[in-house]
Structure 1
Amino acid sequence: MSDRPLLNRRLEGHGSTIFAEMSALAVRTGAINLGQGFPDTDGPESVREAAVRALRDGRGNQYPPGPGIPELRTAVTEHQQRFYGLNFDPDTEVLVTAGATEAIAASMLALLEPGDEVIAFEPFYDSYAASIAMAGATRVPLTLRAPGFRPDLEALRDAITPRTRLLLLNSPHNPTGMVLTQEEATAIAALAVERDLLVVTDEVYEHLVFDGEHTPLISLPGMRDRTVSISSSGKTFSFTGWKVGWVTASAALVAAVRTAKQYLTYVSAGPFQYAVAEALRLPDGYFTEFREDLRAKRAILGDGLAEAGFQVFRPQGTYFITTDITALGEKDGIPFCLGLPERCGVVAVPTAVFYDDPDAGRSHVRFAFCKQPNVLAEAVTRLKGATLRA
């Protein structure tokens, strides 16, 4: 066998995800896993039963249509109209994907050429870096800095070059919990129009905004034909294992993304698509109650982390809290998180792994609060009772 590395050089440095590593550590040590962002309870029983009905009725057990079942595509358009006043054609402007992660990957593969530049908020969800790399493009970070993690719009303007093709934006933002203001979203949209850029928006936490309001960039002037809007059911309905996501965009952009997507999974989650179609039509009370439940959990964990000595940056959205461990006498989140399960039986994620420049987030650690209140309370008790100071 030749000495050539087996792994494509574009994927160097993209081995096991931090989520897989930390979740394995939680299993091995029996620690409470506040690292990976998945709930520890299922979503609405009516939605789960809808999936069971679909299975029993033989709906979706064979290949569903490539773009997604008509019922779900229609439900997605109804959702966009109901919450944002946006109108989409379910036949040409919606694409169902295997979660938002596939939607992001398909968008990068479809819309980028080797040598293109992509500006993304840093820290970023790790699949962004891998998807951009697989497309042969170059990642250009726009660093969000504590305590507010606001985007520097002048730095964004300065980062745009003749090679910039696309902005990959995430709001509500994982892992910092930042939510773009109306003014920031409007300014970014105006810049995209001015510089003729495409925009891909990851909006999976759209229904988890505690402070402020979610503004889809696709709703702003000049953005309808240049924005790929991505969301999914996993975070909103607490069925992350179903992996049902979607793209809404102009017919031309959806056609481009669909071309790449059809050679990834082709189709997925047939019976679950029927269930998610019903979930998207749940009454407003569900979405309100869901948000308020997570708001209460944010308080439990946020207050507890502060009492344990962490500097807490309270998120405006998502279900993650970013903290700084400097006050604990620690400087590096990676060894801190690797040792935390043994020290107190809790798993967290070092956010340095979400940066191109790890030093920008070296002392930051992310905790997930999408867990049952008693689990969060126990985690807080363990953190407060442990010797965390270096």
Structure 2
Amino acid sequence: MSDAEFHRIKRLPPYVFAEVNAMKARARAAGEDIIDLGMGNPDQPTPPHIVAKLVEAVQNPKTHRYSQSRGIPGLRKAISAYYKRRFDVDIDPETEAIVTIGSKEGLANLAQAITSPGDVILVPNPSYPIHPFGFMLAGAALRHIPVGDGLDGFVPALERAIRHSVPKPTALIVSFPANPTGQTVTLDFYRPIVDLCLKHGIYILSDIAYAEIYFNGNPPPSVLQIPEARPITVEFNSLSKTYNMPGWRVGFGVGSKKLIGALAKFKSYVDYGAFTPIQVAATAALNGPQDCVAEIREMYRQRRDVLIEGLAQAGWKVPSPNASMFVWAEIPEPFRELGSLEFAKLLLQEAQVAVSPGIGFGEYGDGHVRFGLVENTQRIRQACRNIRLFLERARRQNGPVKADRTS
């Protein structure tokens, strides 16, 4: 049987990372030292005090029972305290906060909860894949808003999308700091967006998973800092990057009572929530000392600087992002004609460096590749040396060659 007969599955495009991942696996099996800057998978351990709290909690057999799909009360209170401390926004832990099994699950299940077949969803492009595909799986039609060349045209593009969409859009997704581009915004960026969405009855779904990974001294804002946004907005966050907890799968959503209530009802039918000891440890992360967050932020800043400098020395000028754990790099000339997938494969084959092809984040990302800052600075320097040698060879050969698909 083919998965083509399943309606929702066949709506998904081919997984463009698969070819790069297969090449990477073959190269490693052949003994090659591949420097993997592809997946945004933090490489450092979770801070010890969070692990200790998990161990303590798991030794209590009462925590081994079913948890709560909405999240344990202590964690919801910690989420509310975080929002007050960080954004000066008051969140009711009973009605305006929900614990999710990572922000990805929250977005996907909210899409299922609020979407009817044929609803129009406005999605930035390029963007993190769950943003469009969570709604596509729920039966929505997607309307893409280009963000690859900057954000100056975002509001005019949003106005056009609303004007020309039939039926009227149900929801708009925003995500800043952005994955994959690393773009950041100020609170003023959100104000006309909130006004437009209020005027046209459009929900705002915000993803701020990288809100604590910033480098220029200006903490990224929350759209909920605009009071008028609260009735129409849910904002998702995750502990994965902030506390080096990707495998723990714990995140949260806050905002609109109506939307949080819809998500809570949906989740009550499909899951029992994250394992209680994980939620207890997540509570300790949010309520405990935050020195570890500053240390993680500084680690990514150092890695970013090493990568940007190393690429520049290789002749590849790339802008330095103000936030996130990614560097979004325009494919250098004369390789742009290859497209991002072919170039990523070539980089893997010729420089032993794995990156994510931009096309995997939407059609407007095809002129770029994404570097994840998930190796230490020594390995990043080695990656840059490999890339420099590869680019020098290409210049001597007067242009690129295509990757060998069998390598």
Report the TM-score when normalising by structure 1. 0.92
| Partner in structure 1 of residue 6 of structure 2 | 7
Alignment of 1:287-302 (within 5 A): 287-302=293-308
- What whole-Å deviation, never above 9, does each CA across 1:120-167 have from its counterpart, x for those lacking one? 111011112221112111111110133x45552111111114521111
Alignment of 1:169-318 (within 5 A): 169-211=174-216, 212-318=218-324
Q: Is residue 95 of structure 1 aligned with residue 94 of structure 2?
A: no
CA distance in 1 between partners of 2:388 and 2:93 (Å):
51
Q: Which runs of 5+ in 1 are unaligned?
A: none
CA distance in 2 between partners of 1:106 and 1:9 (Å):
15
Give secondary structure in 2 for the equivalent of 1:26: helix
Is this contact kept in 2: 1:26–1:32, CA < 8 A?
no
CA distance in 1 between partners of 2:247 and 2:290 (Å):
24
- What whole-Å deviation, never above 9, does each CA across 1:339-372 have from its counterpart, x for those lacking one? 32221111001112211xx2x3322111011332
Is this contact kept in 2: 1:41–1:371, CA < 8 A?
no
Is this contact kept in 2: 1:98–1:265, CA < 8 A?
no
Determine which of 321, 332, 337 is the counterpart of 2:327: 321
State the AA in 1 paired with 2:59: R
Report the TM-score when normalising by structure 2. 0.88
CA distance in 2 between partners of 1:308 and 1:11 (Å):
41
Is this contact kept in 2: 1:116–1:137, CA < 8 A?
yes
| Partner in structure 1 of residue 374 of structure 2 | 370
State the AA in 2 paired with 1:68: G
Alignment of 1:45-60 (within 5 A): 45-58=48-61, 60=63
Is this contact kept in 1: 2:187–2:223, CA < 8 A?
no
Give secondary structure in 2 for the equivalent of 1:141: strand
- What whole-Å deviation, never above 9, does each CA across 1:76-109 have from its counterpart, x for those lacking one? 1110111011111212221111101111011111
State the AA in 1 paired with 2:155: L
- What whole-Å deviation, never above 9, does each CA across 1:180-232 have from its counterpart, x for those lacking one? 22221122112212222111101110101223431111220311111011001
Aligned residues: 384
| Partner in structure 1 of residue 27 of structure 2 | 29
Give secondary structure in 1 for the equivalent of 2:231: coil
Give secondary structure in 2 for the equivalent of 1:205: coil
Is this contact kept in 1: 2:121–2:143, CA < 8 A?
yes
CA distance in 1 between partners of 2:3 and 2:283 (Å):
47
The structure where helix makes up a greater share of residues is 2
| Partner in structure 2 of residue 166 of structure 1 | 171
Give secondary structure in 1 for the equivalent of 2:142: strand
Report the CA distance between 1:59 and its aligned residue. 5.4
CA distance in 1 between partners of 2:332 and 2:386 (Å):
19
CA distance in 2 between partners of 1:207 and 1:150 (Å):
24
Gap change, CA 1:362 and 1:175, over 3 Å in 2: same
State the AA in 2 paired with 1:113: S
| Partner in structure 2 of residue 380 of structure 1 | 384
Q: Which protein shows a greater Rg?
A: 2
Which piece of structure 1 moves more, 310-319 or 118-127? 310-319
- The CA RMSD measured in Å over matched residues stands at 2.1
State the AA in 2 paired with 1:130: F
Report the CA distance between 1:293 and its aligned residue. 2.1
CA distance in 2 between partners of 1:382 and 1:328 (Å):
18
CA distance in 2 between partners of 1:150 and 1:266 (Å):
43
Is this contact kept in 1: 2:15–2:360, CA < 8 A?
no
| Partner in structure 1 of residue 343 of structure 2 | 336
Gap change, CA 1:73 and 1:384, over 3 Å in 2: same
| Partner in structure 1 of residue 358 of structure 2 | 351
CA distance in 2 between partners of 1:50 and 1:138 (Å):
43
Gap change, CA 1:29 and 1:270, over 3 Å in 2: farther
Determine which of 118, 123, 131 is the counterpart of 1:128: 131
Gap change, CA 1:121 and 1:158, over 3 Å in 2: same
Gap change, CA 1:21 and 1:105, over 3 Å in 2: farther
State the AA in 1 paired with 2:365: G
CA distance in 1 between partners of 2:272 and 2:127 (Å):
26
Give secondary structure in 2 for the equivalent of 1:51: helix
Gap change, CA 1:265 and 1:343, over 3 Å in 2: farther
CA distance in 2 between partners of 1:381 and 1:279 (Å):
38
Is this contact kept in 2: 1:210–1:316, CA < 8 A?
yes
Report the CA distance between 1:10 and its aligned residue. 5.9
State the AA in 2 paired with 1:275: A
CA distance in 2 between partners of 1:59 and 1:84 (Å):
35
CA distance in 1 between partners of 2:195 and 2:256 (Å):
18
Which piece of structure 1 moves more, 378-387 or 4-13? 4-13
Gap change, CA 1:69 and 1:144, over 3 Å in 2: same
Report the CA distance between 1:383 and its aligned residue. 1.6
